[in-house]
């Protein structure tokens, strides 16, 4: 089993995927989506739409609550009004936090002869996970949730050693994940990803 393959440096990749081959180590940096101007624009548009919809919902729900308090039952049944209010009060902050985690997270993969180590930095905190290299290490595509739970796409790419699944490229789109899969295939010496399961 080889620690890295220098040929991966010439592999076509996204502008967000940076590859550096050091002595006995391959390092793959995945920049956050806000690193690209086009994705930054999408972030601002998504944030503006989310904010506009949240404000519209708050205004509408506030008017309905005033109607209920003053005149009794309103247009919406009370259980539905409580549910919608809870969805807006809880859902909007969670959505904002999820988008922030998605758009500002950086990922680094470090591949050497013994392990594949992943570091995800988001909101000033780093998380380190690794998978030991061995004959059972392979790439897999899945539609099931893999940590990190947030992801940009429906299909998830993972490094799998039979007992541990390490979700990689969570902030990448489908095309970028395929490029990352090609790089990882060459780096770990594995020929083809396992089909989606």
Question: Is the pLDDT score of 4 beyond 50?
Answer: no
Q: Band of the pLDDT at 7, cuts 50, 70, 90?
A: very low
| 195 against 88, higher pLDDT | 88
pLDDT at 59: 93
The domain spans of the chain are 6-32+105-188, 37-103
Question: Is the pLDDT score of 180 beyond 50?
Answer: yes
pLDDT at 127: 83
CA angle, 102 as apex, 106 and 33 as ends, to 5°?
Answer: 60
pLDDT at 40: 85
pLDDT at 1: 39
| 57 against 96, higher pLDDT | 57
The model carries a pTM of 0.73
Question: Is the pLDDT score of 18 beyond 60?
Answer: yes
Alpha-carbon distance 134 to 78, whole Å?
58
Question: Is the pLDDT score of 190 beyond 60?
Answer: no
Helix 78-104, helix 37-71: angle, nearest 10: 160
User: Following DSSP, what letter does each residue of 12-46 receive, concatenated?
Assistant: ---TTEEEEEETTEEEEEE--GGGSHHHHHHHHHH
Q: Mean pLDDT for the chain?
A: 81
* Number of CB atoms found within 10 A of residue 89's CB: 13
């Amino acid at each position: 089993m080889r620690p890295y393959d220098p040929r991966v440096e010439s592999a076509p990749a996204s502008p967000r995927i940076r590859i550096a081959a050091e002595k006995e180590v391959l390092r793959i940096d995945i920049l956050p989506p806000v690193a690209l101007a086009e994705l930054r624009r999408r972030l601002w548009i998504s944030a503006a739409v989310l904010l506009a919809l949240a404000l519209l919902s708050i205004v509408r729900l506030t008017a309905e609550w005033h109607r209920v308090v003053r005149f009794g039952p309103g247009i919406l049944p009370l259980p539905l009004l409580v549910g919608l209010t809870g969805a807006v009060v809880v859902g909007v902050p969670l959505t904002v936090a999820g988008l922030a985690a998605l758009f500002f997270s950086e990922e680094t993969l470090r591949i050497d002869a013994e392990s594949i180590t992943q570091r995800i930095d988001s909101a000033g905190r780093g998380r380190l996970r690794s998978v030991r290299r061995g004959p059972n290490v392979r790439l897999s595509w899945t539609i099931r949730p893999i940590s990190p739970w947030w992801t940009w796409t429906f299909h998830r790419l993972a490094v799998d050693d039979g007992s541990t699944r390490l979700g990689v490229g969570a902030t990448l789109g489908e095309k970028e994940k395929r490029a990352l899969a090609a790089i990882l295939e060459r780096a770990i010496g594995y020929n083809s990803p396992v089909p989606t399961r």
